[in-house]
Amino acid sequence: MRAKIVFIVIFTLLLNACSSDKESAAESAAEFVQRVQEEMQLVARESETAAWVRNTYITLDTGLIAAKANERWLAFLSKAVEQSKQYNDVEMSVETRRALDLLKLSTSLPAPSDQALRAELSTISTELEGMYGAGEFCDAYQNCRDLGALEDVIDSSRDYDVLLEAWEGWRTVAEPMRPMYTRMVEIANAGAVEMGHADLGVMWKSGYDMNVQDFEIELERLWSQVEPMYEQLQCYVHDRLQDTYGADKVIDGEPIPAHLLGNMWAQQWSNIYDLVEPYPGVLALDVTSSIESMGWSAVEMTEVAEEFFTSLGLPELPESFWSNSMLTKPEDRDVVCHASAWDMDNGNDVRIKQCVEPTEEEFSTLHHELGHIYYYLMYKDQPLLFKGGAHDGFHEAVGDTLTLSMTPGYLKDKGLIESVEVSEEATINQLMKMALDKIAFLPFGKLIDEWRWRVFSGEVTEEEYNDLWWSLRTEYQGIAAPVERSEKAFDPGAKFHIPGNTPYTRYFLSFIMQFQFFKSLCETASHEGALHECSIYGNTDAGVQLADMLALGASKPWPDAMQALTGQREMDAYALVEYFSPLTAWLEEQNEGKACGW
């Protein structure tokens, strides 16, 4: 009897599947897109909710729930993409074709159609994020510190050996990730192949409204525009760090040891501003001390960031944002503190996850994350497949564009510095502080995916991961590991975006485009004078211009969105070069006669 029931159930499922396929075949492309979007909204909501709980409450149970929900999402997406192939050669509207193309690129972690592989991929990806979020380093005395505590050391200590212990300690967390990461790449590559790509890297590079080869050429063009600026900054910082730590630690003609730059990943260097300040005491820019002295809470810091957006005429954040966001690290459980913005319900439930500390870096990060939130709110009325940035770099650039307006005058108005000094020395100090974040980041932003694309293509083996990582870091950044790294090390895994499988070229592009956006908005605000002196704070004309571009979402190719905001149709670093031109000239003078390079 039981066997008969099983047979009937299987027969019924097969019949339903055949019926579903027939219905799919009978649909027009536009009808298919509409149906998929309706179904996708339900599946995505479940997956996002499970992922939120996992990120804000790391346990074995939440890991299982998140993995299962993600598995259902991957299954849905695989089936939808497979069904969409029937329309490859069918005539349809431009909008429908774009929606189908975006459907095929709607995940950075494509799953194969094989159910067992799909389940394995979901489990691995969930586990890797959990390992990162719960990671701790315990020293010989069993004093255990999480990433936040170790970052505090890297950010503020000036003791070479203390810095080294914290730097090495965090990287022990990544070592067990390597075999899991290798397997994740293997399965995701299979998923990318099923979707019609040579490998996962090719799939990622296909999301920019141009062919892959043209995109690779474009990246090199942009890098060539900014590389000379970075080389001047690296040379100057190398020299000043040598003054602090000695010529035996920071060696002439050699890369900078990676643990000395005030950031766990040496990606942004503003925490060592006190060591490299061009004119000591001119234009005090210690925003962290001001935030601490004013006793701002995480909520108050977020409210100040929100007020920048509302000053442009954008709406206040919904009440649900304040009740649903995680703004501080809970004391009773492990969470993923890496800051992120979430659109949980089609624009109806937006929130951020961030373990906010009273620092300038965290204050800037809040603006960045709210940039994502306001993008969600502005394109809320677009169809689901058009709810996204014009490309992923657009999404990353919005909040950072606003932080460029945090001029000394703005900081003084907010009580974050005591006075504004107008002089050439003050200008150089101001630009140096900004360059340590904006220019220092550029090579790091480019090399992360340079590493991954070679991993995805199979150019390097698992045993070569770390060697390639440090080869690229030296090539692009002129930094090196402070100690010899063992064969078992997996230093890429110490950066969230690697185990979290988040594409990173978006950040490189955003750090260039944000200056393009900023220059155009400053022109709309009728700014006169040097670009670095502009602030669009309080200018509603600039706000309308920005909001109109955000409202497009992903409905148009990115050159259309770029043109809507800037009047141009290509990405270019001309505005970034203009912004920092006084500092670049100063750095060239300071470095004259020095043996720059590595």
In this prediction, residue 346 carries a pLDDT of 87
Please tell me the total count of domains within the chain.
Answer: 2
The pair of structure tokens assigned to 408 is 């000394």
Question: Is 339 part of the annotated catalytic residue set?
Answer: yes
* The Cα angle at residue 23 between residues 22 and 24, in degrees rounded to 5: 90
The identity of residue 531, as a single letter, is L
- The full DSSP string for 489-550 is --GGGGSTTTTTT---HHHHHHHHHHHHHHHHHHHHTT--S-GGG---TT-HHHHHHHHHHH
Give 309's contacts (C-beta < 8 A, 6+ positions apart).
Answer: 370, 374, 402
pLDDT at 421: 84
Regarding predicted confidence, which is higher, 26 or 440?
440
Closest by Cα among 77, 74, 175 to 126: 74
Burial class (CB in 10 A: 0-12, 13-18, 19+), 53: middle
Candidates 149, 339, 426, 564; catalytic one:
339
| In 423-504, alpha helices (H) | 424-457, 465-477
- Return the minimum-mean-pLDDT range out of 210-224, 247-261, 385-399, 417-431: 417-431
pLDDT of residue 11: 38
Amino acid at residue number 43: V
Asked whether residue 488 is domain-assigned, the answer is no
Measured in whole angstroms, the distance separating CA 503 from the mean position of its chain's CA atoms is 8
- 497 annotated active-site: yes
Q: Which pLDDT tens digit goes with each residue over 547-560? A: 999 999 999 999 99
Q: Does residue 486 lie in a domain region?
A: no
Q: What pLDDT does 535 receive?
A: 96
> Which of these is catalytic: 129, 277, 396, 450?
396
For residue 26, what pLDDT band results from cuts at 50, 70 and 90? low
Q: How many CB atoms lie within 10 A of CB 68?
A: 17
273 and 184 assigned to the same domain: no
| Statement to judge: residues 41 and 88 lie in one domain | yes
Tell me the C-alpha distance between 405 and 534, whole Å: 6
Question: Do residues 314 and 543 lie in contact, with contact meaning Cβ atoms separated by under 8 Å?
Answer: yes
Is pLDDT above 60 for 428?
Answer: yes
Catalytic residue among 259, 367, 368, 391: 368
Q: Are residues 125 and 218 in the same domain?
A: no
Q: What's the pLDDT tens digit per position in 129-168?
A: 999 999 999 988 889 999 999 999 999 999 999 999 999 9
pLDDT at 23 over 60: no
Among candidate residues 197, 259, 372, 532, the one labeled active-site is 372
191 and 242 part of one domain: no
In a domain, 164, yes or no: no
Nearest to 126 by CA among 41, 47, 46: 47
Can you give the pLDDT at residue 285? 81
| pLDDT band, very low/low/confident/very high, at 581 (cuts 50, 70, 90) | very high
Any idea which of 20-34, 171-185, 381-395, 507-521 has the lowest mean pLDDT? 20-34
Q: How far is CA 97 from CA 91, 191, 562, in A?
A: 9, 22, 21
Is the Cα dihedral 188, 193, 194, 196 positive or negative?
A: positive
Dist CA 412 CA 235 (whole Å): 32
Note if 338 is an active site residue: yes
Residues 444 and 533 in one domain: yes
So what's the pLDDT on residue 281? 87
Tell which residue, 318, 394, 396, has the closest CA to residue 551: 394
| Annotated catalytic residue within 277, 357, 360, 369 | 369
Catalytic, out of 181, 230, 273, 507: 507
Q: Which of 197, 238, 259, 338 is catalytic?
A: 338
**HSE, side-chain direction, 13 A CA sphere, residue 313:** 11
Alpha carbon distance 120, 65 (integer Å): 14
Q: What is the pTM of this model?
A: 0.92
Is residue 424 included in any domain, yes or no?
A: yes
Residues 263, 188: one domain? no
Does 372 qualify as catalytic in the annotation? yes
The whole domain housing 233 covers 211-284+368-463+498-591
Task: Give per-residue pLDDT as tens, 220-276.
Answer: 999 999 999 999 999 999 999 999 999 999 999 999 999 999 999 999 999 999 999
Question: Same domain for 275 and 224?
Answer: yes
In a domain, 98, yes or no: yes
For residue 563, give the H/E element and its range: helix 558-566
Mean pLDDT value across residues 340-365: 94
Q: Is the pLDDT of residue 177 over 90?
A: yes
Selecting among 497, 504, 525, 532, the annotated active-site residue is 497
Q: Which helix (H) or strand (E) element contains residue 340?
A: strand 340-343
Evaluate whether residue 351 is within a structural domain.
Answer: no
Catalytic-residue membership of 396: yes
Averaged pLDDT of the chain: 93
Burial 235-251 (b: 16+ CB within 10 A, else e): bbbbbbbbeebeeeebe
56 close to 354: Cβ distance less than 8 angstroms:
no
> Does one domain contain both 379 and 446?
yes
Q: Is residue 343, in this structure, part of any structural domain at all?
A: no
> How far is residue 1's CA from residue 85's CA, in Å, rounded to a whole number?
41
SS3 2: helix
* Statement: residue 304 has pLDDT above 60: yes
**188 and 273 part of one domain:** no
Residue 19 scores a pLDDT above 70: no
Q: Are 258 and 188 part of one and the same domain?
A: no
Judge residue 318's burial from the number of C-beta atoms within 10 Å of its C-beta, 0-12 exposed, 13-18 middle, 19 or more buried. Answer: middle
